[in-house]
Homo-oligomer: A and B are copies of this chain.
Amino acid sequence: MTRYKLLIEYDGSPFVGWQRQSNGTSVQGEVERALMEFIGTPVRVFGAGRTDSGVHALGQVAHCDINKDISCETVRDALNHFLRKVPISIINTESVGQDYHARFTALRRHYLYRILNRRPPPTFGQNKIWWIPNILDVESMYESAQILTGIHDFTSFRAKACQASSPVRTLDKLQVDRYGSEIHIKATAQSFLHHQVRNIVGTLVMVGASKMNASAVRAILKARDRSSAGPTAPPDGLYLVKVDYP
């Protein structure tokens, strides 16, 4: 029995999300199908982050156990062969110990949210970026973002369907930068609540559009009420970039 760690890139737009679901094709389901076609028996895959429908990954991490000793390169190439019809690519494969678990031993998750902030509409990247035609004030977005870093009760930024036992999370970093006509929001934490990044982005965009200020963001955090915060940003701009392990 060998445990393999898989580094996975995917365009999330055609999927119902990472997790296997009855209502459509999932990334997990496709990787498990590829493993089944390769190995011949069912293999379960455990992912580090359950990305939502339409959310992308540049560096999702998952693990699986295979009852044979196969070289990492062979596992990678075989899976990519069986995944050739879907926008999922196994970037790297390594063998790890049985104490490794993609979800439970993860130290930090890094997300990127991309906004195209210009009046002309996008031409590249359909479903890959959130287009906001009115110019946002990135400096005030950055200022408000700093209010949200650290340990907080994020009830106001969590989806109603969120199943986490506690709404308290530690946001290690929340960066807001402009690169030409793109705004990049980078969020790092050990773990996130359901929709947390997208709800934070939706609120920061309100701040950037001068519909809200820093003290309103402070009040939202204190309110512990989802309806006090901004709307949920669309999944299109969100990327799971990297997961750190010890």
List residues of A whose CB falls within 8 A of some B CB. Answer: 9-11, 56, 76-77, 80, 84, 87-92, 118-124, 126, 128
Please name 6 further chain A to chain B contacts, defined as beta carbons within 8 Å, in addition to the given A80-B119, A84-B121, sorted by A numbering.
A9-B123, A9-B124, A11-B124, A89-B120, A89-B121, A91-B118
Q: In the complex, A238→B87 CA distance in Å?
A: 22
Offer 27 A-B interface pairs, CB within 8 angstroms, sorted by A.
Answer: A9-B120, A9-B123, A9-B124, A10-B123, A11-B123, A11-B124, A56-B124, A76-B119, A76-B120, A77-B119, A80-B119, A80-B120, A80-B121, A84-B121, A87-B123, A87-B124, A87-B126, A88-B123, A89-B120, A89-B121, A89-B122, A89-B123, A90-B120, A91-B118, A91-B120, A92-B120, A124-B128
* Chain B residues in 8 Å Cβ range of A88: 123
Q: How many copies altogether?
A: 2
Q: Which residue of B lies closest to A57 (CB)?
A: B123
Question: Whole-angstrom distance from the CB of A14 to the nearest CB of chain B?
Answer: 11
Q: In the complex, A87→B126 CA distance in Å?
A: 9
Q: In the complex, A84→B89 CA distance in Å?
A: 31
* Chain B residues in 8 Å Cβ range of A121: 80, 84, 89
Q: In the complex, A131→B122 CA distance in Å?
A: 24
* Chain B residues in 8 Å Cβ range of A9: 120, 123-124
Q: In the complex, A122→B80 CA distance in Å?
A: 10
Q: In the complex, A121→B78 CA distance in Å?
A: 12
Q: In the complex, A120→B80 CA distance in Å?
A: 7
Q: In the complex, A120→B81 CA distance in Å?
A: 9
Question: Whole-angstrom distance from the CB of A141 to the nearest CB of chain B?
Answer: 23
Q: Which residue of B lies closest to A73 (CB)?
A: B119
* Chain B residues in 8 Å Cβ range of A10: 123
* Chain B residues in 8 Å Cβ range of A119: 76-77, 80
Q: Which residue of B lies closest to A181 (CB)?
A: B91
Residue with the greatest number of chain B CB neighbours at <10 A, chosen from A91, A119, A120, A126: A120
